[in-house]
């Protein structure tokens, strides 16, 4: 069904692999379309899927950026349209109601790092290299990197990475708060899956609401405090709340 991505089910986790290793998994238009489609359809609607891991095929790269070959001849308008669409796709991941984790297995550059930044969490293999090298091409990051990197690592470190275009390694990324954990390459998927499994025993409704409230505080048109108040209240009307509290009071595990 897809030409550039593969989706595999590992119990309740969907492993989405960007699969263009020959081009270091660069995001051409078709790949971006397929990612968008997957998050709009099967990953969202399949209730057996409780969380998603995004990773890159091969040993070398997570994703080495947007496909530079494709936008060589772009006009100003075409560049803007690409960024607008890219923002839409990244936003779909950023606001996805199930947890999404990037398992960064090599180069995560430009649009590739922006894809990882759109995920809710990031785990990097020790060999990962991360950067926003767009200034080397006479560009700036176009899939949300100027904003999301700044939110994660602060203005000073974000500007250092964006203005120098230099890559950082997994250790620095971990220290700067860009990734949640680092691990050996061969344990990357199992470590990321273990992190997701901690969330699967919890209320899917509460998880979706928590993602929304956290995001609301970071959005410019939304109020995170208001969202939290509204959503906290709404939770009392859900079956998950009744199950969670009953399980606590009767000293059993909740069945969400
Ligand atoms: N777009 C298109 N093709 C890419 C690519 C990209 N972003 N990154 C790598 N490739 C291709 C290379 O062209 C090469 O293909 P050919 O064999 O047909 O020449 C193949 O992948 C292997 O790459 P290299 O031979 O360059 O591998 P390397 O080990 O020597 O270097 C690298 C690895 C340092 C990651 C280097 O490939 C590189 O610098 N890539 C570009 C990174 C980049 O600038 N990314 C930002 C893109 S712009 C962007 O993403 C805008 C945005 O914000 C939306």
Q: Kindly report, residue by residue over 131-165, the tens digit of the pLDDT.
A: 999 999 999 999 999 999 999 999 999 999 999 99
Q: Which two tokens stand for residue 187?
A: 């344990």
**Structural domains in the chain (count):** 2
Whether 158 lines ligand 1, by a CB cut-off of 6 Å, is: no
Res. 229: pLDDT tops 90 = yes
Residue 190 shares a structural domain with residue 131: yes
Ligand 1, residue 61: give the atom nearest the CA.
35
End position of a domain, from candidates 159, 177, 200: 200
Does the global pTM surpass 0.95? yes
Classify the C-alpha dihedral 146-149-152-157 as positive or negative. Answer: negative
Whether residue 255 lies inside any domain: the answer is no
Q: 94 and 81 share a domain?
A: yes
Say what the pLDDT of residue 165 is: 98
Looking at residue 14, what is its pLDDT? Answer: 98
pLDDT of 171 = 98
Atom of ligand 1 nearest to the CA of 142: 53
Both 187 and 225 in one domain: the answer is: no
Q: Let me know if residue 12 belongs to a domain.
A: yes
Q: Stretch 176-180: mean pLDDT, rounded?
A: 98
The percent of residues above 70 in pLDDT, for the chain, comes to 100
Residue pLDDT, tens place only, 82-98: 999 999 999 999 999 99
Ligand 1 neighbour 131 (Cβ under 6 A):
no
CATH number at residue 25: 3.90.226.10
Cα–Cα distance for residue pair 213/204, rounded to 1 Å = 14
Q: 23-38: per-residue pLDDT in tens?
A: 999 999 999 999 999 9
Residue 256 lies in a domain: no
| Residue 209 resides in a domain | yes
User: Does one domain contain both 191 and 208?
Assistant: no
33 is catalytic: no
Nearest protein Cα to ligand 1, atom 44: 133
Pair (183, 98) in one structural domain: yes
Judgement on whether residues 104 and 164 belong to the same structural domain of the protein: yes
Q: Residue holding tokens 């390459």? A: 185
First to last CA, the chain: 32
Q: Are 99 and 188 contained in the same domain?
A: yes
CB 132 within 8 A of CB 158: no
- Choose the final residue of a domain: 184, 200, 216: 200
The arithmetic mean of pLDDT across residues 161-182, rounded, is 98
In the structure encoding, which two tokens stand for residue 116, read together?
């990882």
Residue 122 belongs to a domain: yes
Residues 59 and 89 in one domain: yes
Which residue from 185, 184, 55, 153 is spatially nearest to 108, judged by alpha carbons? 55
254 in any annotated domain: no
Residue 216 and residue 236 in one domain? yes
Mean pLDDT of 203-209: 98
Residue 71 pLDDT greater than 90, yes or no: no
Whether residue 163 sits in one domain with residue 133: yes
Give me the domain span that covers residue 59: 5-200
Q: Establish if 96 belongs to a structural domain.
A: yes
Are residues 41 and 119 both part of a single domain? yes
Residue 156 pLDDT: 98
Catalytic choice (78, 114, 160, 226) = 114
Q: What percent of the chain has pLDDT over 90?
A: 98
Active site residue 171: no
Q: Which of 17, 33, 36, 134 is catalytic?
A: 134
User: Is residue 118 domain-shared with residue 183, that is, in the same domain?
Assistant: yes
Residue at 17 is within a domain: yes
pLDDT at position 73 is: 86
Q: Is 24 in the pocket of ligand 1 (CB under 6 A)?
A: yes
Whole-number pLDDT of residue 72: 84
User: What six digits make up the tokens of 64?
Assistant: 């080495």
Q: What is the pLDDT of residue 208?
A: 98
Mean pLDDT in the chain? 97
The pLDDT value given to residue 177: 97
Do residues 64 and 58 lie in contact, with contact meaning Cβ atoms separated by under 8 Å? no
Assess whether pLDDT exceeds 90 at residue 51: yes
- The response to whether residue 62 sits with its C-beta less than 6 Å from ligand 1 reads no
């Amino acid at each position: 069904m897809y030409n550039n991505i593969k989706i595999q089910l590992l119990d309740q986790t969907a492993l989405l692999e960007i699969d263009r290793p020959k081009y270091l998994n660069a995001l051409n238009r078709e790949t971006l379309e397929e990612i968008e489609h997957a998050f709009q359809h099967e990953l969202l609607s399949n209730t057996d899927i409780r969380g998603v891991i995004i990773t890159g095929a091969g040993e070398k790269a997570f994703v080495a950026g947007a496909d530079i070959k494709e936008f060589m001849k772009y006009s100003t308008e075409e560049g803007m349209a690409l960024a607008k669409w890219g923002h839409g796709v990244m936003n779909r991941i950023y606001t996805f109601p199930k947890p999404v984790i990037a398992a960064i297995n090599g180069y995560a550059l430009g649009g590739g790092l922006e894809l990882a930044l759109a995920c809710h969490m990031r785990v990097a293999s020790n060999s990962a290299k991360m950067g926003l090298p767009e200034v080397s091409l006479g560009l700036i990051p176009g899939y949300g990197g100027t904003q999301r990197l700044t939110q994660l690592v602060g203005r000073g470190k974000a500007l250092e990475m964006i203005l120098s275009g230099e890559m950082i390694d997994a250790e620095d990324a971990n220290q700067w708060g860009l990734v949640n954990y680092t691990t050996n390459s061969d344990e990357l998927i199992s470590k990321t899956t273990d992190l997701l499994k901690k969330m699967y025993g919890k209320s899917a409704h509460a998880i979706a609401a928590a993602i929304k409230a956290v995001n609301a505080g970071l959005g410019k048109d939304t109020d995170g405090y208001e969202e939290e108040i509204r959503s906290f209240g709404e939770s009392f009307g859900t079956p998950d709340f009744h199950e969670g509290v009953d399980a606590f009071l009767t000293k059993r595990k909740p069945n969400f």
